Amino acid sequence: MENLFQSGRIKLRHIQCFLAVAQLNNLQRAAERLSITQPAVSKTLSELESVLGVRLFERGRRGAELTRDGRIFAPYAHNCLGSLRDGIGRLAQADDGASVTVALGILPTVASVLLPAALHAFRQAWPMASLRIHTGRNAELLERLKAADIEFAVGRLGEPDAMAGMSFEHLFREPLTVVVRAGHALLGDEALAPMAMARHLLIVPPEGTLIRQSAESVISAFGLPRHVARVESLSVSLSLELTLRNDAVWFVPSSLVERGVADNTLARLPMPFGGTDEPMGLLRRTDVAPSPAALSLLDALRRVGLQREQARVAPG
């Protein structure tokens, strides 16, 4: 059979276009990502299908769906671009990574507790590399990962449908805690009275986040009424100010308030039950190999995550 690469009939633009449509299931969105027109995407796909002699997509009202042949071809196309990226990364590494950029996604609730220590170690190996960091909800990070906007993400295990083609590597478990300012009136109660707590503003994660489910379980266990006043926010700075200045009750991942609890600015309320911790881990696509710089950052995050898990389970 003719070697299609050696003959020059398959070009890099064919592979890039195929992967963009395969990831987005939509020709117009693929065109926007590639900065070309939709007719150009259609023409490029038709050229590739003609060269290969197979139909790669079924186009219909639901968008562009991979055919059986398309699904067979997809991992090899991903590996082709992945190998090329690895080669470019290794060349850049020889030049101290001056032209390397690693794009990653991370939940805002863990970014400040993981990234500073991990980046310190990462920069020892890649002192000239740059980072492009995206923060957002877990579903948003998974969408970015699927669209290849980022190389990996740090987040929670998603729903089975969202995890198709993804892997999850556990790093640590993040407990939910409830804090108030030091000297808050609720700290004087031996047993928290639901109506006493209901008089204060509750700060909770937004609807649609996994950690909101844990927060609602704790609120219910406290015996609070269903329609108590809430502020929904993922902003650490805003939530902290509301807690310190407005006597709010903050439902928050424990790591975000460690410093405030340690210096007695904040105080934890007794939890009504245990088991509110959420598994955090590395989210990656199974069909794409990370770049050398990304692998180095992944290793650094693993070490920091392991240290957090060891500290969590340590006695006392």
Are the CB atoms for 45 and 56 separated by under 8 Å?
yes
Report the pLDDT value the prediction gives residue 89, as an integer from 0 to 100.
61
Domain ranges of the chain: 12-93, 98-172+278-313, 175-277
Task: Find the Cα–Cα–Cα–Cα dihedral 94, 95, 99, 100, rounded to 10°.
Answer: 40
Domains 98-172+278-313 and 175-277 are alike in CATH topology: yes
State both tokens at 232.
């929904």
Q: Which CATH number fits domain 12-93: 3.30.420.40, 3.30.9.10, 1.10.10.10, 3.40.50.300?
A: 1.10.10.10
Q: Looking at the predicted structure, is the pLDDT value of residue 4 above 60?
A: no
**For a pLDDT cut of 70, what percent of the chain falls above it?**
89
pTM of the model: 0.64
Q: What is the Cα–Cα distance from 270 to 108, expressed in whole angstroms?
A: 25
pLDDT tier for residue 162 given thresholds of 50, 70 and 90: confident
Q: Looking at the predicted structure, is the pLDDT value of residue 184 above 90?
A: yes
Instruction: Give residue-wise pLDDT tens across range 277-295.
Output: 788 999 999 888 788 889 9
β partners of residue 268:
179
Q: Which of 166, 288, 102, 44 has its CA nearest to residue 34? A: 44
What are the backbone dihedrals phi and psi of residue 127, each rounded to the nearest 5 degrees, phi first?
-65, -25
The superfamily in CATH containing domain 98-172+278-313 is Periplasmic binding protein-like II (3.40.190.10)
Instruction: Give residue-wise pLDDT tens across range 63-103.
Output: 888 898 988 888 788 777 766 766 666 665 555 555 788 99
Report the pLDDT value the prediction gives residue 82, as an integer from 0 to 100.
67
State the average pLDDT over residues 165-183. Answer: 91
Are the CB atoms for 205 and 211 separated by under 8 Å?
yes
Instruction: State the chain's mean pLDDT as an integer.
Output: 85
State the average pLDDT over residues 22-43. Answer: 88
Report the pLDDT value the prediction gives residue 7, as an integer from 0 to 100.
56
Q: Looking at the predicted structure, is the pLDDT value of residue 190 above 70?
A: no
In angstroms, what CA-CA distances link 169 with 50, 76, 157, 292? 40, 24, 9, 18
Q: Is 311 left (phi over 0), alpha (psi -120 to 50) or beta?
A: alpha
Report the pLDDT value the prediction gives residue 3, as an integer from 0 to 100.
54
β partners of residue 43:
none
State both tokens at 171.
């790093």
Report the pLDDT value the prediction gives residue 87, as an integer from 0 to 100.
67
Q: Which CATH number fits domain 175-277: 3.20.20.80, 3.40.190.10, 3.90.1640.10, 3.40.50.2300?
A: 3.40.190.10
- Beta-carbon contacts of 221 under 8 Å, excluding residues fewer than 6 positions away, are 272, 273
State the average pLDDT over residues 49-73. Answer: 88
pLDDT tier for residue 1 given thresholds of 50, 70 and 90: very low
What are the backbone dihedrals phi and psi of residue 189, each rounded to the nearest 5 degrees, phi first?
-90, 125
Higher pLDDT, 9 or 13: 13
Q: Which of 88-102, 104-118, 130-144, 190-204 has the lowest mean pLDDT?
A: 88-102
